[in-house]
């Protein structure tokens, strides 16, 4: 191969690497935007109220199920709640009764 061809390949490779970095940054931005749309804004009062309940559930379920099984169930529950939020937002409903 000639040095011109090698230089052209090196330049193309550098361009592709740069494009990959830009695409990765764009995907991260899009994922953050999607998450902000799907996930509700945190409410400090609600968090303070639910934290002890969540700690109790984890304290009971973790020894019974084991770490890997419990993590799997949490992941599935997370996916289910995300799908529910997407469906609720997509339909335009808030999931709450008026009043």
Structure confidence by residue, pLDDT tens digits, 88-99: 888 775 555 444
Q: Are 12 and 56 in contact (CB under 8 A)?
A: no
**Top-ranked range on mean pLDDT: pick from 23-27, 47-51, 85-89:** 23-27
At 93 the pLDDT is: 58
How far, in Å, CA of 52 to CA of 91, rounded? 32
Phi-psi region of 95 (alpha: psi -120 to 50; beta: other; left: phi over 0): left
Task: Read off the pLDDT of residues 46-81 as tens digits, 9 standing for 90 and up.
Answer: 888 888 888 898 899 889 989 999 999 999 999 999
């Amino acid at each position: 191969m000639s040095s011109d061809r090698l230089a052209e390949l090196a330049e193309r490779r550098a361009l592709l690497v740069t494009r990959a970095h830009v695409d990765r940054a764009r995907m991260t931005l899009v994922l953050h935007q999607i998450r902000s749309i799907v996930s509700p804004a945190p409410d400090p009062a609600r968090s303070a109220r639910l934290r002890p309940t969540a700690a109790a559930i984890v304290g009971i379920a973790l020894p019974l199920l084991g770490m890997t099984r419990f993590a799997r169930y949490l992941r599935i529950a997370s996916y289910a709640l995300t799908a529910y939020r997407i469906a609720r937002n997509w339909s335009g409903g808030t999931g709450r009764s008026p009043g």
